[in-house]
Amino acid sequence: MERELERARRGEADYLAVCTPSGQPVGFGAVDYTKPVGGATLYQLSVLAHLQSCGIGTILIGALEERIRARGIPFAELGIDDASPRPRRLYERLGYVVSGSETGAWDVDTPDGSVTRYETTITLLRKPLPS
Ligand SMILES: CC(C)(COP(=O)(O)OP(=O)(O)OC[C@H]1O[C@@H](n2cnc3c(N)ncnc32)[C@H](O)[C@@H]1OP(=O)(O)O)[C@@H](O)C(=O)NCCC(=O)NCCS
């Protein structure tokens, strides 16, 4: 998150938190304005587990899309891990359609304290954002 906030300070990204009226953050999400070419990428979308499916993610994605529109960028993209397809229904309901796929790989901490390499297929989805 620290690295992403530094990118936000440089104008390459925005990092938003959804907060309760008391200021408690309950959801987070970011937008990267540097990729793909001609668009912007939503990433690190997450809502506290016990508050999921209450509409917070929908509000968060709408706010991120507004930031993209304000820069005159015509479409948003996001990727879902094919091994965890649950959020796909939400994104499709919000107007995202499959635009391609790519291989994803990142390091994952294991319970025994070691790090393992995780590889998967990422399905990419896009949504036009007319100004
Ligand atoms: C994906 C994620 C960010 C979505 O946030 P969310 O707050 O759960 O999203 P919403 O509540 O807006 O929508 C999710 C579901 O709740 C339903 N919903 C929305 N508002 C609702 C309400 N007021 N009452 C009941 N259900 C509601 C939506 O229809 C949707 O249902 P579906 O999944 O069956 O289509 C969140 O679930 C999450 O953090 N998941 C774990 C991490 C993850 O998978 N991140 C995404 C990686 S690509």
CA of 84, closest atom in ligand 1: 44
Q: What confidence tens digit (pLDDT) does each residue in 42-95 have? A: 999 999 999 999 999 999 999 999 999 999 999 999 999 999 989 999 999 999
- Mean pLDDT calculated for residue range 15-23: 95
What's the pLDDT at 15?
94
The residue extents of the domains of the chain are 2-128
Q: What is the pLDDT of residue 4?
A: 84
The pLDDT of residue 110: 92
Q: Rounded mean pLDDT of 2-30?
A: 93
Phi, psi of 5 (to 5 degrees): -65, -35
Name the one residue in this structure whose structure tokens are 């506290």. Answer: 48
| DSSP label at residue 39 | S
In this prediction, residue 5 has a pLDDT band, given cuts at 50, 70 and 90, of confident
What is the pLDDT, as a whole number, of residue 2? Answer: 85
Pocket of ligand 1 contains residue 47 by CB under 6 Å: yes
Choose which residue among 19, 90, 101, 118 to substitute to test ligand 1 binding: the one with the highest number of ligand atoms within 8 A of its C-beta: 90
Looking at the predicted structure, is the pLDDT value of residue 131 above 90? no
How crowded is residue 58: how many other Cβ atoms within 10 Å of its Cβ?
13
**Cβ–ligand 1 contact at 59 (below 6 Å):** no
> Per the structure block, which two tokens stand in for 4?
């992403």
Task: Express each pLDDT in 24-41 by its tens digit.
Answer: 999 999 999 999 999 999
The structural architecture, per CATH, of the domain 2-128 is 3-Layer(aba) Sandwich (3.40)
